[in-house]
Amino acid sequence: MPQPRIIVTASRGQDRTEYLDALREAGAEPVRLEPGAAAERALDGAAGLLVTGGVDVDPAAYGAPASPHITEVEPERDLLEIELLRSARERGMPTLCICRGLQIANVAFGGSLIADIPAALGSLATIPHEVGGDDGRVVRGLIAQHVVAVEPQSRLARILGATSVVTGSRHHQSADRCAEELRVVARTDDGIVEALEARFTSPFWLAVQWHPESTRTLDLGASRAIFASYVNATARSR
């Protein structure tokens, strides 16, 4: 049986190796898609959509003023991913969104974002959402303090087989006002949104704020379970 073909979004020249490897490991055929592509044409023949991490979402995309905390945006990618997400919904296409993917999905369906978590929360920012390593780079593995509480009746809880999970984290933006067509199913103790699911009918729709592609060998199977559940849904829906 042919492997399900999954569209994977990316900025021009951006390394997507971890995402592609995670999908292949789960039994899918990933196809990279960069800004400049035609969204509708790209989804023709695809079994699923994976919206990945990257630079900040442009505040203009959700009607907010520019922020001094946002220094790099990619409006062309914002527009492409918004079109892809809306079209995938209309097609009933299984969709998985990761990190920036969660943020642009919330924007695509009418929500807004926190431009910068430390600035917004101030002294209430008690959970690290981005940690620097000894080498000066952002830590890509698990962060012990970054514990995500998951709604018991959610799809995510069923996938994980748990209502609490330690994850990685490397972001300074997050969902603020949740889009009406989505619902929050996970948060950290400081209130930051860590996962969204669809209120509309879909064979699979999940957005997570952390990076399961980076922690597949570190979290006792939780990250692999997300990719396996997603790819299985794409295979069933073809």
Helices (H), 116-169: 117-121, 155-160
CA 192 to chain centre: 14
**137 burial level (CB within 10 Å; 0-12, 13-18, 19+):** exposed
Q: Which residues are catalytic?
A: 99, 211, 213
CA 15 to chain centre: 16
CA separation for the pair 87, 67 (Å, rounded): 29
Closest by Cα among 235, 232, 216 to 224: 216
Which element (helix H / strand E) includes 33? strand 29-33
Asked whether 209 and 97 are in contact (CB, 8 A), the reply is no
Asked whether 114 and 175 are in contact (CB, 8 A), the reply is yes
